[in-house]
Structure 1
Amino acid sequence: MKTSDCDILIVPGHDNSGEDHWQSRWERQLSTAQRIVQENWDAPDKDAWVARIVRDVAQAQKPVVLVGHSLGVVAIAYAAPLLPNGKVRGAFLVSLPDVERADTIPAIDRAFAPIPREPLPFPSVLVASRTDPHCDYAKAEDISYAWGSAIVDAGDAGHLNTQSGHGPWPEGLMRFAGFLKQLS
């Protein structure tokens, strides 16, 4: 699948993705990419976030590929069974936060717990770091197996965001291009 063959819906996490975040860069770089805009980035509401994903997917004109980061990944997992059958062709998921962990996750994000464990109804990849402060690699790997997602070991990469040095993240864009090719 080429980027021109699909609507790429960017699903950021808590606090949105800043100007230099790889999601924002991809949104500017990929002609068919657009952000799913939540009403409240600072105080995420699970039901509102899921409803917005469902609405934006339903309104897409082309087959959809979702690109989630952090809390956006969990929101996608909650939205998955509510999405129009066959509309989403795949999901590229990055840096799952362990919303079930009280020690590193803000209470407002823990409202997204438990993490859904039902298989996703579309092909997916979960990119996880060995040094993500918000999720142990073993937990991300366990969830990826439950979802039926391919797991990608990003190594020592933190939370794969601007703070961890992943503004441009060219390796991620190459990995995403390979994922799209598999969806053909």
Structure 2
Amino acid sequence: MTRVLLVPGRSPAGPAHWMTLWAEAHPDYVWVRRRTTPDTDLEARVLALDAALAADPSPAVLVATSMGCLTVASWAAAHTGPVAAALLTVPPDVPITLTPLPFRAIVVGSRDDEHMTFARAREFAAVLGAEFVDAGAVGHLNTASGHGPWPLGERLLAQLLAG
């Protein structure tokens, strides 16, 4: 069975955030390094993701948002593990070295994200070798931009889980 690992952004996902709602609806989804305070330690985040992947040899689909996308990209550049695919939502425009991902990935970009322009989000996807999905004008896809439930994300995750 394919497992789902949730790789949160820098700030804690509050109770109405789509990731929190997904975790509540699916108790088998596993959080990777979920903190209650802002978490910008990329190295520690990558190590936590590596440990979560190493804890179970089953294939995993990674669901990452914001800084979680950088965590996944950084992990994939230096590690291997049982990753089947990744859903990377609204990555921030932070300078890190990117390399193509060795697994299927979908990058979701927003036309009005305050943390990365739409054009840069498309470039991020292209460098990673990922499919790009235009989510429209959804801000940073968080509760501040009006997102609790996120049906498009659920459909994209279902596609990745189906292979």
> TM-score, normalised to structure 2's length?
0.93
The answer to whether residue 101 in structure 2 is matched with residue 98 in structure 1 is no
Out of 124, 144, 149, the residue aligned to residue 143 of structure 1 is 124
SS in 2 for 1:66: strand
Deviation of 1:7 after TM superposition, in Å, equals 1.4
The answer to whether residue 14 in structure 2 is matched with residue 33 in structure 1 is no
Distance 1:172 1:131 in 2: 17
Question: Percent identity among equivalent residues?
Answer: 36
Aligned length: 163
Distance 1:69 1:51 in 2: 17
AA aligned opposite 2:132:
I
Distance 2:20 2:130 in 1: 24
Structure 2 unaligned residues grouped into runs of 5+: none
Out of 80, 84, 96, the residue aligned to residue 115 of structure 1 is 96
- C-alpha spacing 1:35/1:68, structure 2 compared with 1 (3 Å): same
Out of 17, 20, 30, the residue aligned to residue 16 of structure 2 is 20
The answer to whether residue 36 in structure 2 is matched with residue 55 in structure 1 is no
For 1:71, the equivalent position in structure 2 comes to: 67
Please list, as runs of the form range in 1=range in 2, the aligned pairs for 1:152-171 lying within 5 A after superposition: 152-171=133-152
Higher alpha-carbon deviation: 142-151 or 41-50: 41-50
Distance 2:157 2:19 in 1: 12
Root-mean-square deviation (Å): 1.6
Distance 1:132 1:123 in 2: 24
Distance 2:119 2:61 in 1: 26
Distance 2:45 2:151 in 1: 28
Structure 1 unaligned residues grouped into runs of 5+: 100-113
Distance 1:161 1:39 in 2: 16
- Note if contact 1:19-1:25 (Cα within 8 Å) is conserved in structure 2: yes
Deviation of 1:30 after TM superposition, in Å, equals 2.2
SS in 1 for 2:136: coil
- Note if contact 1:68-1:91 (Cα within 8 Å) is conserved in structure 2: yes
